[in-house]
Amino acid sequence: MTLTITSEADTWRRNTAAGRWYGLGRYYAMFPRGFLHDVISHLTSPNDLVLDPFCGRGNAPFVATVLGRRALAVDINPIAWLYTAAKQEPAPDVDDVTARLDELARSQRPTDQRSRHRFETMAWAPQVRGLLRAARRDLQWRTSVVDRTLMAFVALHMQDKLGSGLSNSLSPTIALSPEYSVEWWTEADMARPPDVDPVAVLKDKIRRRYKYGIPAQATSEVLLGDSRAELPRQPAGEAMLLVTSPPYCGVTDYWNDHWLRLWLLGHQFGQDWKRTSKFSHQMAYRELITSVFRESDRILRDEATILVRSDQRRRTADLCIAAIRDVWPDRQLLQLPTSAALAGTSNGHGRGGTKSREIDFLLPGAGADSWARSRGFRRVEASG
């Protein structure tokens, strides 16, 4: 294997396009950039394929393609797909994005600013409601690169801390229920949303992100759907690295915690417990990740490395170990406990305290043994 090791500090400076675009999107359990840079730089070569079947906001495929590796990413959540696809192929010209924003503002209908719910009245000023409803109706985010890029910015900033985006005070990541939010704003004497110009705010956010252009990236494919259905359609034996973080068992609800941004993408207003993605049923969870690992194995080369980040809770970790051993029973399995670099990183994404601890499981491929030893990985005993 011929390695090309680039400096993490040089690649991800804030005054580079890659450094600016890496942070687009807010999502759960995001891989740390330094971790991904280390793994991908040392365990793959340029033009190798990196696979992430639970890609979230797309940190792994983004780092891979910036480092000259190809990427295949899949996620079933439309918000995760939107962020990933926008980062993997942002619209090349910032003026096209801002011009589309102006078109969107002009396309508003008289009824778009009308509030349909007390939550809307308190969450956004009328002009913001109008723009959100126009975006929900008019942006072709699935098929148009420009519309998808713009929609990623609208989704990101429609829900934010007071004074940072378009909304009244809201968690930047988790969307609490409309009823809870209304009650909280009322008790906090914050029933009136900020009077902001959404076009001006978004243009400023967009131009800041584009300040250094867009990053040079290798090719990638980002699929919206269930990996169990999408991966069988992919060519076999191409990927040199599987790096992924499956959903954690019974911890977070990847659908309902994003209901507000999902509404922007055309889904119902409010939480929908029929579509819950909390993965509370342990056997169903094990069957899910086992099936995805099995489909991933078909895509991997024989000498590929497999790295899976799991929650350290025994419920998730044990099920993850069992799924890995179901699919790769004859391969050496190593582990390395880890934790969020900053408490606030975990706290701000739905986890905190002891919940911030995670564990990496590694099945080393060609050339990965020395890297694994240097990073402190240890063998997982047969008992798990």
81: tokens are 């797909």
Plot region of 246 (φ>0 → left; ψ -120 to 50 → alpha; else → beta) = beta
9: tokens are 């500090």
21: tokens are 């675009």
pLDDT digits (tens, 9 = 90+) for 270-300: 999 888 988 888 999 999 999 999 999 999 9
- Cβ atoms of 333 and 321 within 8 Å: the answer is yes
* One-letter amino acid for residue 40 of the chain: I
The C-alpha angle 225, 231, 232, rounded to 5 degrees, equals 120
Residue 384 has pLDDT above 80, yes or no: no
- Cβ atoms of 364 and 372 within 8 Å: the answer is yes
Predicted confidence band at 340 (pLDDT cuts at 50, 70, 90)? low
Backbone angles phi, psi at 29, to 5 degrees: 45, 50
Residue 356 has pLDDT above 70, yes or no: no
Q: Which residue has the tokens 């990623």?
A: 152
Give the Cα separation of 177 and 182 in Å (integer): 9
Residue 84 has pLDDT above 60, yes or no: yes
Q: How does 128-150 read in b/e, with b if 16+ C-beta sit within 10 Å? A: bbbbbbbbbeebebeeebbbbbb
Fold entry, domain 8-88+223-336: Rossmann fold (3.40.50)
Q: For residue 384, give the 3-state DSSP assignment.
A: coil
Task: Print the SS3 string covering 3-47.
Answer: CCCCCHHHHCCCCCHHHHHHCCCCCCCCCCHHHHHHHHHHHCCCC
| More confident: 356 or 121 | 121
Q: Residue 297: which residues within 8 A CB-CB, separation 6 or more?
A: 327, 328
Q: Residue 339: which residues within 8 A CB-CB, separation 6 or more?
A: 356, 357, 358
State the average pLDDT over residues 238-266. Answer: 94
Q: What percent of the chain has pLDDT over 90?
A: 82
Domain range annotation of the chain: 8-88+223-336, 94-209
pLDDT digits (tens, 9 = 90+) for 164-207: 999 999 999 999 999 999 999 999 999 999 999 999 999 999 99
pTM: 0.93
Give the Cα separation of 244 and 308 in Å (integer): 5
- Would you tell me how many other CB atoms lie within 10 Å of the CB of residue 5? 10
Give the Cα separation of 76 and 74 in Å (integer): 7
CA end-to-end distance (rounded Å), the chain: 32
- Would you tell me how many other CB atoms lie within 10 Å of the CB of residue 336? 16
Give the Cα separation of 126 and 289 in Å (integer): 44
